[in-house]
Amino acid sequence: MINVENHAYLFVHFIHENESRADLEQVYFSVSQDGIRWETLNDRKPVLTSKLGEQGVRDPFIVRSPIDHKFYIIGTDLSMHFRKDWDEVQRSGSQHIVVWESTDLITWSERLIKVGPETAGCVWAPEAIYDKETDDFLVFWASRENFGADKQKIFYSKTKDFKNFTKPKRYIERNNHIIDTTIIEEDGKYYRFSKDETVKSITVEVSDSLLGEFTTLETNLKDLIGVEGPACFKLKEGNKWCLLLDHYEIEKKYIPYYTTDLQSAQFTRSNDDLDIPVNSKHGGVMSITIDEYNALVKAYGGSSI
């Protein structure tokens, strides 16, 4: 376990620019000592470049496994630089996720895993959370069935090793399109953030179990329109949670929001933008030890602690 009073953060993400380049839709590493000020490693170039499938990756997410003590990064098998057409990829996009595996955050192996339903038009924004009740991971993502004809729903599968996955099942289905789900655990409760793709805002739910019934919380995030890619993590100072939201419609960048009470679902926008030197897009944040932080800096360049 990581000492919560003495740790740092790793943010895996991809990049948005006005131009189209193949290297933007790959995995970038940014690190932080406080979760507020970030440094992008490897001279602001990708740390991981997908050579499989669509040869691009979006929406990377990282987890530390208590089962085999490895790190896993999963992401969307997609390159819009090559594909170009959003409508087309929803009908015939990849049914796979990209999986990277590592024991040290430095050396990684890559594989493609098919997780989507047989008629899925796409498998987008996969994330994972450890399920304490069953000692495995719940992996979830957004898909449109019938090759893009149906609305976006959230599906899930279970795995222990990110190689063998159970048959996909529906996880969230609503009247509206739902994408970009992320889940965090605090004090035995699971908080689930999702993007209502019809309204273009964020919903918040809570449950005592990952596969139990979730209760919708009344949140002020519903008033934010044109946001996506939620990423939530706990800051090590001030008993405060940070929720990153990608304001893709107008500001076109991540903006932090804070709360000291997840159950309230009330978030306050930061007075400052995300302090990061690149235009980061949809990713995930994981706590790392000081030794892991320094190892990343040594491998890819940056400021050590």
- pLDDT for 227-259, tens place per residue? 999 999 999 887 899 999 999 999 999 999 999
For residue 18, is pLDDT > 90?
no
pLDDT of residue 5: 55
Q: Token digits for 48?
A: 């991981």
pLDDT of residue 6: 62
Per-residue pLDDT tens digits for 97-136: 999 999 999 999 999 999 999 999 899 999 999 999 999 9
Q: What is the DSSP string of 58-85?
A: EEEEEEE-TTTS-EEEEEEE--HHHH--
For residue 84, is pLDDT > 90?
no
pLDDT of residue 2: 53
The 3-class SS string of 208-263 reads CCCCCCCEEECCHHHHCCCCEEEEEEECCCCCCEEEEEEECCCCCEEEEEEECCHH
Looking at residues 20-33, what average pLDDT do you find? 96
The half-sphere exposure of 234 on its side-chain side, counting CA atoms within 13 A, is: 18
For residue 300, is pLDDT > 80?
yes
Angle at 39 between CA 35 and CA 41, to 5 degrees: 130
pLDDT of residue 11: 98
Strand order in the sheet with 241-247: 228-234, 241-247, 253-259, 268-269
User: Among 90, 87, 187, which residue's Cα sits nearest to residue 132?
Assistant: 187
For residue 276, is pLDDT > 70?
yes
pLDDT of residue 39: 97
For residue 304, is pLDDT > 90?
no
Per-residue pLDDT tens digits for 31-75: 999 999 999 999 999 999 999 999 999 999 999 999 999 999 999
Amino acid at 134: T
**Secondary structure element (H or E) that encloses residue 266, with its range:** none
Looking at residues 182-189, what average pLDDT do you find? 96
CA distance 151 to 160: 29
Strand order in the sheet with 152-159: 124-131, 136-144, 152-159, 169-172
Please tell me the pTM assigned to this model: 0.96
Q: Which stretch of 123-127, 196-200, 284-288, 298-302 has the lowest confidence by average pLDDT? A: 298-302
Average pLDDT, the chain: 95
In the chain, the percentage of residues whose pLDDT exceeds 70 is: 98
pLDDT of residue 3: 54
Q: Which of helix, strand or coil describes residue 91?
A: helix
Looking at residues 269-280, what average pLDDT do you find? 92
Looking at residues 142-162, what average pLDDT do you find? 95
